[in-house]
Structure 1
Amino acid sequence: MTEIDVQVDLFHPADRVWHALTDRALLARWFTEVEPMAGGRDRLLLFTAGLPGFDAAVDAEATDRREPELIALRCLEGGRRSRLTCAVAPTAEGCRLSVREVLEHGGWAEEQREGREESYRQALTGRLPAILDWLAFRQVDLRRGEAGMTAEMPVTEGVDDEPAPARRRWPLLVGGLTGVVLVAGAAVWAVLPADPEPVAGPAPAPSPTATATPSRTPQPTPSVRPTRSASPSPSRPSRTPSATPSATPSRTPSSGAPSAPALTARYETVSTRLLGYTGEVVVDNPGGAAVNGWKVVVTLAEGGSLTDVSGAEWRQEGQVVTFTGPSVPAGRSRTFTFAVRDVDPLTRAPEDCALGDAPCAGL
């Protein structure tokens, strides 16, 4: 039995994830467009034709629905029948979404199965978190003192008795804040130290000039230079051949070391979202022999954490994440991706990436 299983940890509550799974407008934003079909409200047509791993649109019918925990679909696509299950389980930091598709009739080629799995993975680790972040942003509690959350700015009703005092307080408040800013700026400007002038540089200039004049004057002594040049002359020919053979063999082994198979790594940010991004690292083996095992160390920005990894084993200690993987055949490569949740919306890549002592290209 052929199956596809993809999991992702999300920093959002289960009800928000359920909303993104079942709302047709939101589903079109992170996966594909959906239209209801005749024959029941639980039948949907998913326009998946053109996505990697899909041959045609999918005729899906909901067979199990338990909000906000599970939804199961019986899917028909190009003569194949499969069962697609989306399960949402709460976690300490949000929830875990597990998507599992089991083929019940027909078959997938290996390349098609891999493309289908990659379509699910990219949607779940890239576009879905972006939609969830957008939903969370809309639900920010702007009132802060009232229960519940709102996506609209609070509007106060006008009262005919007291419009003027309320409006007069705004110019006073703005004027007061402007005064505070100006005073604070003047205070900071006043205590800033003046730029030091580079007066120490010219001072040493005259002293070398004065000392250089007497030191150069006694040097031209004709009796000293001929004596010294004559005595080392017989020894110099003997040193010249001895240095040449010693340098040649010492450089031979050092120049031969890079010819051994050496791995290289290159980094690329493949997708971004409001509070995070997805990075990809390709480990290349340009040598003529396989290299057993590799280790890539990635340093995330402060506050960043991994939510999903594909293609490598990993462990995170603080902001440092260590990725390891199997051997890389000669002339081949290994690729792994990782999804990062970051509290800074401007962060779009890790701070550092290195394979051994060599930095990753592209970062």
Structure 2
Amino acid sequence: MPIGSTPYSRAVTEIRMDVELEHPPERVWRALTDRHLLPKWFAETDLEPRAGSVFRFEPITVPGLPRVVDGELISLDEPRRLSMRWRADDLQTLVAWELTPTAAGCRLTLRESCVREQWDPEQRAVLEEGYRELYTVRLPAVLDWIAFREVDFAATVPGGAGGRGRRGGRLLAGVAAVVAAALAMVALTGLLDARTQEPTAAAPVDTAVVPNPAGSPSPGASTPPPARGVSASLTPSPSQAPRSPQDASGATTSTSPTRPAGAALLGARYATVGSGSFGYDGEITVSNTGSAAASGWTVTVTLPPSPSQSKVLSATGARHEQRGRVVTFTGGALSPGGTARFRFEVGQAPLGEKAPAGCTIAGRPCAGL
């Protein structure tokens, strides 16, 4: 089967990948051929989208990709097909990008086949993993970013007779669909946030104090918490001012709120310790400044809303569970004066996102945000 104008044998080593994208072919074509957009997801380049042009790719750091690729553009059929010849070290391959319209957007098909030398099985596996990151994570994030930037452009496209007006209408409709999907996601994750935070809102006022199960309750800790759905007032009204207790002699004794004896006091601090084009590494330090050990701790992190939902890919030092934008991290016992530190990796983050939108522990905000 030919690629461009150059035939090749099906017997040579080939990599094929099909990616379903919720974007029109015209937008994906821009991301594949625009020298200003390619560095955002693939490689620095001097590519000119015309048949016969030569170019150089300097790919971003992705496993399996060479540092430099010299290429030749064999043929192109905008916005459907582009075929190239790539040379890296002693390896020469033929590469084709094909776009097929679908009901949801389009399908991108990548074909790469060796014409000189071949990959060994380990090289091919690493390269396929790198391509999965490029085409299923980085490229969709850039396409979402392009879609939102096109909103203003579409609004200014004249709607007169001819193809340009119709194209502007289709573009605006497509972007409106993306925006509607994003708003729906924000609304849904907002409901998830509310469900997740509901127990915190019903907790006693000093939610950062963790009573010691082994300790005895103090007089100040005997008052039951307010009923669920009823807010507690910090300042009583004059008609409800508390009366000072009297001793047997009739003298008035003063009382003040006290923290339960033998209680843990938990706090947390966030820091971004690494970042890339479409993600970052976060670190949270949990500390116990109370006088008793905490049997465990929970940190709740809220990620910013985005069309391509950010995800916690991994975590070390804590267990984690993600529901929508809300990620819950849990850890074990923490002694008085002790600290615990954990890190997590966030992927599929929009361009520019380098930190969570929020972070709390025991109802209190984390420092550092």
TM-score surpassing 0.5? no
Instruction: Calculate the TM-score normalised by the size of structure 1.
Output: 0.43
Question: Rg bigger for which structure?
Answer: 1
